[in-house]
Amino acid sequence: MKILMIIVDGMADRSVNDTTPLKSARTPNLDRLSEMGINGIMDTIKPGIRPGSDTAHLSVLGYDPFKYYTGRGPIEACGAGIEVMPGDIAFRVNFGTVAGEGNIFNKRVVDRRAGRIQKKEELVKAVNENVKLDGVEFILGNASGHRAALVFRGENLSDRITDSDPKNEGEKVMKVRALDPSAEFTAKIVNEFIEKSHKILDKHPLNAEREQKGLPKANALLLRGVGKAVHVPEFSERYGMKMAVIAGTTLIKGIGRLVGADVIENERFTGSKNTDLDLKVETALNCLESHDFVLLHIKAPDEFGHDGDFEGKRMFIEKVDSALHPFLNLDFSEVCVAVLSDHTTPVTVRDHTADPVPVMIICEGVRRDDVREFNEFQVYRGGLCRIKGVDLMNIILDLTGKSKKFGA
């Protein structure tokens, strides 16, 4: 059997006047799938632990995040197309705008996103070609929007250092500090990189052009989310299956590359509300012909949750439901489908919370339960009961005849 995992990012919510965006949405296709399968709720990490999208995705793919997650940096670097090797340290990066006198650490952040700059390939190239460091290699990789990723490679590098991104505008760029003596060299070399890259960017013709147009200069690289790359077993090695990932966000593409999946790129997969849902579904169906396991990721409900937009989230969930209709026609003796949210993003909180998420599995032979509506108020009655994220792959492998017997 093939396996299709559909993750609707941040779809789950907390109750607002006894409803949620998912419950109040019209979702005939999700409800029909729910009726055909087994349902439950899931703590993607552990009860009471607020998941990030990165740790949640690792967990539901069967990779213990407490073992394989060292920080978001290495995953973002993979998503940006950088080949990350064990021992590398990597960061998430924002192109930002700083102003003031003296070196960069005396300057204040005016805009953490440099006016949400989009076209910055020239700036990435200029840093890669002109910044020189002794004894350490680096790779700056372009990512979506104002984002980038940064990898350092060399001897005696440590991830026991602080961020340079102050997280708030109006504050000074933070000097990277070592958290223990073994990281002193790393902190020194990273600070040197931050200052040298600032000098290159501040004088770049593209930024001069932006300044003339009244746009913020993208003259600083703000670093955060450092992590040290570790060996992560490839999905094919772990499960004996060829995997495809269909996603628009750098983070999820990074997780796909981290585990050796084929990441299907398309400029119409945006990772936001304007993504092409129909094309994503069509691509997933095509990938089921050539791959054993397909991960289809849909991001926008999480964005609506972070924006506190109940109606926007409800309406987009209805669009997702409509786009999923072709999956009703799958032969569930040949394809096992799992539908879930990776975490809860309540519109009242505007951030991830630890509330368990709805999950369902549809395939031939599954013990169908009495759940007829796929929402937070109904699925807990289902036959899956309450599971953890790292349990999900084991359950799916067993249902599809791919699990190995434990014991005699």
Domain boundaries, the chain: 2-67+232-399, 77-228
CATH code of 2-67+232-399, in short, is 3.40.720.10
Predicted confidence at residue 408, as pLDDT, reads 87
| Residues 382, 357: Cα–Cα separation, whole Å | 13
Reduced to 3 states, what is the DSSP secondary structure of residue 149? strand
Per DSSP, 329 falls in state G
Q: Is 363 left (phi over 0), alpha (psi -120 to 50) or beta?
A: beta
Tokens representing 242? 């060829």
| Residues 11, 345: Cα–Cα separation, whole Å | 7
| Residues 202, 126: Cα–Cα separation, whole Å | 11
Tell me the chain's radius of gyration from C-alpha atoms: 22
Reduced to 3 states, what is the DSSP secondary structure of residue 245? strand
* CA distances (Å), origin 25, targets 21, 237, 259, 336, 387: 6, 40, 34, 25, 25
pTM attached to this predicted model? 0.90
pLDDT truncated to tens, each residue of the chain (408 aa)?
999 999 999 999 999 999 999 999 999 999 999 999 999 999 999 999 999 999 999 999 999 999 999 899 999 999 999 999 999 999 999 999 999 999 999 999 999 999 989 899 999 999 999 999 998 999 999 988 899 999 999 999 999 999 999 999 999 999 999 999 999 999 999 999 999 999 999 999 999 999 999 999 999 999 999 999 999 999 999 999 999 999 999 899 999 999 999 999 999 998 889 999 999 999 999 999 999 999 999 999 999 999 999 999 999 999 999 999 999 999 999 999 999 999 999 999 999 999 999 999 999 999 999 999 999 999 999 999 999 999 999 999 999 999 999 998
Phi/psi for 41 (5° steps) reads -120, 155
User: Between 28-36 and 310-323, two packed helices, what is the crossing angle to 10 degrees?
Assistant: 60
Which residues lie across from 96 on neighbouring strands?
220
In contact, 10 and 301? CB cutoff 8 Å? yes
Place of tokens 């095509």: 286
Nearest to 115 by CA among 95, 90, 144: 95
Residue type, 242: K
Which residues lie across from 153 on neighbouring strands?
137
E strand map for 100-219? 108-111, 137-142, 147-153
